[in-house]
Amino acid sequence: MFLHLFPKTIRAHKTAKRNDRSSSEMAKFTKHIFICMNQREAGHPRGCCDPTGQGELQRLFKVRLAERGIKLVRANKSGCLDQCELGPNVVVYPESVWYGGVKPEDVDEIIESHIVGDKPVERLRIPDEILNTTHKKKG
């Protein structure tokens, strides 16, 4: 009705909508690193991936990725990944590569070899044959 009185406002609104659309089309993450932060009481038979409750591994992944300027890889906090006996656990997607027994000193190697070089760190990899089996009773 009165739109002809505000042509600049209408143009600005259309431009803003166009800009919103382009920001939603930002580059997607190329990889996600999930770091288990599950806690259990000391001495639990299944172990604990984050015994201090400080999230040291996840924080270290984030810091090291930022230091290298790697922006399209996300280091995510995760709840229990159910591989507790093999922990601390880290899984990298979209490749679905599972790592066990990860220590702070392993973070740089995982980033360099797997995240940057697309070559998983075999010495830390949880073999597919035992993935999801360690907590099940045999018999």
Instruction: Give the C-alpha separation, 73 to 40, whole Å.
Output: 28
24, pLDDT greater than 70: no
pLDDT grade for 138, boundaries at 50, 70 and 90: very low
- Please write the tens of the pLDDT for every residue from 53-82: 889 999 999 999 999 999 999 999 999 898
CA atoms within 13 A of residue 55's CA, in its CB half-sphere = 12
Q: Does domain 31-124 have CATH number 3.40.30.10?
A: yes
Instruction: Give the C-alpha separation, 111 to 134, whole Å.
Output: 27
- Please write the tens of the pLDDT for every residue from 89-122: 999 999 999 999 999 999 999 999 999 999 999 9
45 CB contacts (<8 Å, ≥6 apart)? Answer: none
- Pure H helices in 1-139: 7-24, 56-67, 107-109
45, pLDDT greater than 70: yes
Domain layout of the chain by residue ranges: 31-124
Instruction: Give the C-alpha separation, 82 to 80, whole Å.
Output: 5
What pLDDT shows up at residue 8? 54
What SS3 class is residue 110?
helix
